[in-house]
């Protein structure tokens, strides 16, 4: 009976636990992801085949997938099939406990991670940290993640690889606002584009980038192969008709690309003397004498051609017209290149030369063609057309010239392709497309200086040049060139004594000067002379980097400007100190001695003033610089402290006599038959012969001869002939026959029964008036300025240390030749002893100086300015800018590595270093991939991993919908990309697996069982009481 009591108690205990389990099921009927518990009973030990009751053999969870409830909440996630979410609970001690749960009611925690309601962080494959060097392609060195400025989405794709997930996102700033047209003045014929053309190029490159991005997404495992852009050349024939036929208004050239016909009419152009000189100097003499090819005359000779007569003016204009035609050809070629650049999307065209054979008129398939705006190069008519988008082909089908006089007459040009367009595949093709798009959005920085910016009104200058630029490898801005120290200090290159207007010397210095160590300018930028402007632009490797050009005039001392036979003092002021160097100039000037004296005094100052030293550069061609090592401001002052010894001059006049032009009357004698009446003027006879029985009068004969004289163009302007009385012709000379030899007369003679003798006013050649200057150059004379005042115009020259009367006369005449209003009437000559200014015969012969006698003044030269001031030269803001649209482009590549260890999933884009935006739209796909969408761009920020176990029933429930792994459950199992799972469902939750109806039925069953067990106890108790009573 005691056994029955214990057996009943065991039944009570077992069913109490069953009631507890079922009550728990009922309590969690609405718990997300809850798995119902089940109790298993077993009988206990036996004695004599009689059991001793029951016990709870097992309390377990039934891991059967529950139903899914669509909630529409972004952060709700329901597991499909077997598996668990992994969560960790981080405590303040830095340790963490790992749990597993089926509950997917997540949210973003305060620290930005994906968490459950208890703040436990959801685990998965997190996004790898962004490598700023390799994962971010940015044209702005100060921006490494997207900001509000990046308003244009350029491309976005999530690419699934075998064991990682890649997000590629590209954005740009508003390049529609920053884009501007390239200035035609600078970049015509050199790839200049309008704003509209730049935007069209970007649209084409953007479409190409997204097409390749789509292909890469579809097949990321395709072999990686780069794309190349097409480069072609068209060539218009070089030379004169019939080789090249354009040269006048109405002519035109034509190029057909991709079926689009581009025609350019001949651009009529007028040249200047400077332009003609530039072309003359740029034309080659070998292997082709291009000056002879175009039948050109030296511009300096054109300038001094006489223009007194119409014939002379016409001859000069013919020579100028040859240059004008060539200038028109150049402008026509440039206009065609500009037209192609701006109308044919995705290409840029510019005038080019073959570096291997610049003068060849035959395109070379192996040539090295590069942009050139050198006049001779452009005249050769080669236009290079370069594709801006790798893999995009264009087809040239015709190149031709057409004559305006006969449109059926044409000359075919030639064309070739030196680099074909090839479309790549895979990641490399995508990177090539991205780089092309980035270049168009941003474009190489171009800093432009005009001649006026560089030189102003100065004759010569010495420059220093350096740049501050962002170095991609170092990750910060450095000066270039520099001294290699830490931090590096700028070591500017020196460009010494550059003549005014000289761009090429500066270009060559920037491109070719190399320092002994450290980064070189050529590593970052390239200098060009484009249409007479200094253009400094980043090279192709640094197209996305900005730089600060530091072009300055140096604190220069130019000994070449000193005057010999003078005494100077040069003071250099440093703070309160003055370094004085007195010196005297001899003939010739000893520049080394002066330099040594100044350098010695500076060395003395440096020794006495450590830390405030001055630096004097080596002297080069009489020029050196003086600077303060610590950047302290210094001032220089050169003074003339003694008198100079200029040449002296005395003048005298040699009077001239004015030319008297001839006047006379030619008279017809008696009229007779078969008689010739004749007059000869300037070697040409004018006559009339009467026939037999002639009945005319003297006036008739006179009129016949008069008509011949008046209609002879050779006499136009030379003489005026009019009728005089009834039988005469009045002849008045209007100009001398030959201004170079005014002694030549009209030589008028008559024959037959005519008379012309003597003339009414006889011709007198006259004599030139002269002004003689006796100049004393004996001894050592100071260099001086000579000012010849001739008819109100000042003609200035500077004498040399070894000047003579003969060389001075030559200099003055050279300057006089530059005065078109004076050079035909006056000349400066050396008569063997003196300088003589004398009149040249004009149309009316000699007329003298008309009372305005030439004077010659000798002035001291100005004291050179050695003020040691540095002058920073600002770039020309109107011309400078970017080759592209001037916007900023950024592409960020992120990676979710599915072979990495489990980590918490960060959702905040700012903490992920993707964007300044903190939040975006959360989304999870069926594989557990978590994406955040912001500004139209979707980023894969991680993947929720699904944990699986060998024995789910071995998991230990710890509350909070969580389980812990045990030895019985086995180790957790993850599969790449959750491949061996049924995945998840977003915006849904797994409902509780507790079945309320079943649990209520079980409650009743367990209640009856509990009551029955209680009955067995009370029954046993009654039996036991009966036994006790029996004993009593």
pLDDT at 130 over 70: yes
How many Cα neighbours within 13 Å face the side chain of 613? 12
Confidence of residue 515 (pLDDT cuts 50, 70, 90): confident
Quote the percentage of the chain above a pLDDT of 90: 72
Distance CA 175, CA 203 (A): 12
How many helices, marked H, and strands, marked E, lie in the chain?
A: 16, 62
Instruction: Return the H-helix or E-strand segment holding 976.
Output: none
Sorted by where each begins, the domain ranges of the chain are 2-63+995-1031, 68-135+898-990, 232-420, 445-554+872-882, 570-639, 660-755, 770-860
Rounded to whole angstroms, the Cα distance separating 243 from 249 reads 18
- Average pLDDT of the segment spanning 726-738: 94
- Helix then strand then coil, in percent of the chain rounded to 5, is 25, 35, 40
Structure tokens at 758: 């003597």
d(Cα 495, Cα 508) in Å, to the nearest integer?
10
The answer for 369, left when phi > 0, alpha when psi is -120 to 50, beta otherwise, is: beta
The answer to whether the beta carbons of residues 34 and 51 sit under 8 Å apart is no
Per-residue model confidence as pLDDT tens digits over 387-433: 999 999 999 999 999 998 666 778 999 999 999 999 999 999 999 99
**Digit-coded pLDDT (tens) for 776-817:** 999 899 999 999 999 999 999 999 999 999 999 999 999 998
> What is the DSSP secondary-structure string of 208-262?
HHHHHHHHHHH-TTSPPB--B--EEEEEPPPSSTTTS---STT-EEEEEETTEEE
pLDDT tens digits, 144-174:
999 999 999 999 999 999 999 999 999 999 9
Q: What is the pLDDT of residues 55-84, one digit of tens each?
A: 677 778 888 888 899 999 999 999 999 999
**Which pLDDT score is estimated for 311?**
86
E strand or H helix that includes residue 13: helix 2-27
* Choices 2.60.120, 1.10.132, 2.60.40, 1.10.4100: CATH for 660-755: 2.60.40
The structure tokens listed for 175 are 């390049």
Rounded CA-CA distance 138/172 in Å is 10
The answer to whether residue 905 scores a pLDDT higher than 70 is yes
Q: What is the pLDDT of residue 51?
A: 65
Distance of alpha carbon 702 from alpha carbon 708, whole angstroms: 10
As a whole number, the mean pLDDT across the chain is 91
Q: How far apart are CA 385 and CA 262, in angstroms?
A: 13
Rg (CA), the chain: 51
Of all residues in the chain, what percent carry a pLDDT higher than 70? 98
pLDDT at 48 over 80: no
DSSP 103-122: --B-EE-TTSBEE-TT-PEE
Q: pLDDT per residue over 841-894, tens digit each?
A: 999 999 999 889 999 999 999 898 888 887 789 999 999 999 999 999 999 999
For the full predicted model, state whether its pTM sits above 0.85. Answer: no
Count the Cβ atoms, other than its own, within 10 Å of residue 336.
26
Q: Are strands 493-499 and 410-412 parallel, antiparallel or unpaired?
A: unpaired
**Would you say residue 457 has pLDDT above 60?**
no
> Of 204, 202, 197, 189, whose CA–CA distance to 393 is shortest?
204
The pLDDT tens digits of the residues spanning 111-125 come to 999 999 999 999 999
Nearest to 442 by CA among 213, 152, 184: 152
What the block records as the tokens of 944 is 């929720």
pLDDT digits (tens, 9 = 90+) for 962-982: 999 999 999 999 999 999 999
- Which pair of tokens denotes residue 418? 């030196």
For residue 74, what is the DSSP state? T
Nearest by Cα to 261 from 188, 348, 336: 336
pLDDT at 46: 64
Q: Is it true that the peptide bond before 242 is cis, omega within 30 degrees of 0? A: yes
Q: And the tokens for 104?
A: 């997917």
The residues with which 390 forms a beta bridge, in sequence order, are none
Res 1 pLDDT > 60: no
Average pLDDT over residues 258-273: 95
CB atoms within 10 A of CB 143: 16
What are the tens digits of pLDDT across the range 212-247? 999 999 999 999 999 999 999 999 999 888 889 999
Query: What is the widest separation between alpha-carbon atoms in the chain?
Result: 208
How many Å separate Cα 513 from the centre of its chain?
21
């Amino acid at each position: 009976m005691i056994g029955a009591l214990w057996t009943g108690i065991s039944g009570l205990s077992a069913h109490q636990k069953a009631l507890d389990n079922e009550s728990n099921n009922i309590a969690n009927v609405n718990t997300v992801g809850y798995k119902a518990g089940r109790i298993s009973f077993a009988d206990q030990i036996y004695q004599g085949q009689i059991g001793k009751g029951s016990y709870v053999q097992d309390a377990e969870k039934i891991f059967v997938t529950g139903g899914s409830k669509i909630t529409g909440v972004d952060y709700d996630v329901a597991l499909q099939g077997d598996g668990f979410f992994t969560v960790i609970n981080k405590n303040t001690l830095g340790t963490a406990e790992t749990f597993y749960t089926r509950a997917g009611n997540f949210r973003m925690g305060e620290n930005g991670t994906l968490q459950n309601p208890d703040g436990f962080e959801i685990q998965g494959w997190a996004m790898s940290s962004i490598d700023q060097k390799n994962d971010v392609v940015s044209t702005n060195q100060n921006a490494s993640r997207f900001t509000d400025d990046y308003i244009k989405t350029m491309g976005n794709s999530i690419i699934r690889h075998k064991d990682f997930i890649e997000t590629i996102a590209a954005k740009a700033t508003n390049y529609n606002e920053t884009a501007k047209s390239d200035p035609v003045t600078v970049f015509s014929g050199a790839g200049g584009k309008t704003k509209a053309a730049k935007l069209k190029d970007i649209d084409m490159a953007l479409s190409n980038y997204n097409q390749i991005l789509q292909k890469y997404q579809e097949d990321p495992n395709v072999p990686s192969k780069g794309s190349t852009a097409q480069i072609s050349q068209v060539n218009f024939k070089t030379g004169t008709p019939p080789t090249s036929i354009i040269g006048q208004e109405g002519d035109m050239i034509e190029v057909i690309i991709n079926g689009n016909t581009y025609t350019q009419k001949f651009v009529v152009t007028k040249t200047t003397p400077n332009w003609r000189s530039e072309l003359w100097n740029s034309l080659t003499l070998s292997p082709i004498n291009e000056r002879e090819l175009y039948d050109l005359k030296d511009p300096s000779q054109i300038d001094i051609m006489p223009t007194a007569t119409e014939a002379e003016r016409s001859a000069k204009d013919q020579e100028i017209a040859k240059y004008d035609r060539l200038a028109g050809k150049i402008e026509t070629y440039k206009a065609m290149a500009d037209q192609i650049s701006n109308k044919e999307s995705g290409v840029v065209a510019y005038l080019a030369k073959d570096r291997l054979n610049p003068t060849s008129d035959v395109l070379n398939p192996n040539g090295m063609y590069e942009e050139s705006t050198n006049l001779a190069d452009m005249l050769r008519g080669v236009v290079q057309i370069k594709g801006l988008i790798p893999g995009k082909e264009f087809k040239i089908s015709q190149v031709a010239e057409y004559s305006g006089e006969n449109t059926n007459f044409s000359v075919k040009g030639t064309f070739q392709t030196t680099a074909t367009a090839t479309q790549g595949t895979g990641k490399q093709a995508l990177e090539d497309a991205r780089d092309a798009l980035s270049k168009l959005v941003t474009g190489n920085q171009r800093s432009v200086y005009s001649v006026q910016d560089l030189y102003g009104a100065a004759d010569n200058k010495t420059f220093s040049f350096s740049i501050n630029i962002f170095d991609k490898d170092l990750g910060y801005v450095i000066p270039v060139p520099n001294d290699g120290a830490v931090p590096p200090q700028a070591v500017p290159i020196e460009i010494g004594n550059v003549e005014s207007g000289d761009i090429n010397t500066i270009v060559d210095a920037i491109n070719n000067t190399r320092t002994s160590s450290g980064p070189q300018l050529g590593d970052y930028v390239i200098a060009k002379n484009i249409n007479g402007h200094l253009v400094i632009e980043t090279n192709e490797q640094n197209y996305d980097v900005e730089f600060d050009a530091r072009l300055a005039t140096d604190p220069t001392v130019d000994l070449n400007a000193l005057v010999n036979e003078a005494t100077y003092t040069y003071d250099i002021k440093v703070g309160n100190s003055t370094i004085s160097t007195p010196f005297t100039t001899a003939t010739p000037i000893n520049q080394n001695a002066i330099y040594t004296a100044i350098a010695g005094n500076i060395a003395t100052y440096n020794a006495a003033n450590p830390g405030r030293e001055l630096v004097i550069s080596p002297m080069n061609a009489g020029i050196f610089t003086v600077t303060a090592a610590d950047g302290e401001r210094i001032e220089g002052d050169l003074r003339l402290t003694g008198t100079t010894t200029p040449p002296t001059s005395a003048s005298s006049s040699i009077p001239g006599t004015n030319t008297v032009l001839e006047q006379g009357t030619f008279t017809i004698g008696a009229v007779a038959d078969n008689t010739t009446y004749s007059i000869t003027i300037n070697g040409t006879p004018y006559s009339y012969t009467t026939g037999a029985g002639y009945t005319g009068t003297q006036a008739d004969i006179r009129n016949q001869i008069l008509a011949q004289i008046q209609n002879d163009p050779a006499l136009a302007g030379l003489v005026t002939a009019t009728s005089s009385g009834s039988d005469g012709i009045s002849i008045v000379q209007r100009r001398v026959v030959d201004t170079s030899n005014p002694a030549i007369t009209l030589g008028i003679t008559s024959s037959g029964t005519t008379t012309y003798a003597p003339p009414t006013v006889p011709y007198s050649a006259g004599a030139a008036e002269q002004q003689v200057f006796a100049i004393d150059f004996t001894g050592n004379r100071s260099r001086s300025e000579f000012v010849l005042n001739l008819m109100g115009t000042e003609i200035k020259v500077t004498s040399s240390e070894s000047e003579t009367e003969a060389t001075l006369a030559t200099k003055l005449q050279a300057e006089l030749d530059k005065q078109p209003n004076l050079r035909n009437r006056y000349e400066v000559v050396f008569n063997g002893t003196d300088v003589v200014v004398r009149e040249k015969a004009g149309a009316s012969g000699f007329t003298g100086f008309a009372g305005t006698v030439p004077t010659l003044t000798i002035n001291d030269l100005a004291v050179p300015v050695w003020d040691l001031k540095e002058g920073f030269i600002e770039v020309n803001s109107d011309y400078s800018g970017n080759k592209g649209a001037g916007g900023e482009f950024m592409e960020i590549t992120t990676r979710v590595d599915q072979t990495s260890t489990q980590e918490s999933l960060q959702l905040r884009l700012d903490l992920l270093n993707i964007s300044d935006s903190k939040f975006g739209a959360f989304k999870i796909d069926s594989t557990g991939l978590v994406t955040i969408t912001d500004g139209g761009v979707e980023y894969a920020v991680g993947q929720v991993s699904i944990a699986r176990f060998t024995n789910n029933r071995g998991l230990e429930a710890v509350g909070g919908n969580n389980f812990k792994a045990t030895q019985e459950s086995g180790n957790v199992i993850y599969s790449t990309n959750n491949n061996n799972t049924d995945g998840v469902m977003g915006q849904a939750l797994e409902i509780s697996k507790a079945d309320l109806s079943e649990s209520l039925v079980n409650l009743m069953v367990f209640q009856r069982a509990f009551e029955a067990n209680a009955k067995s106890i009370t029954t046993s108790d009654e039996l036991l009481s009966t036994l006790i009573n029996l004993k009593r």
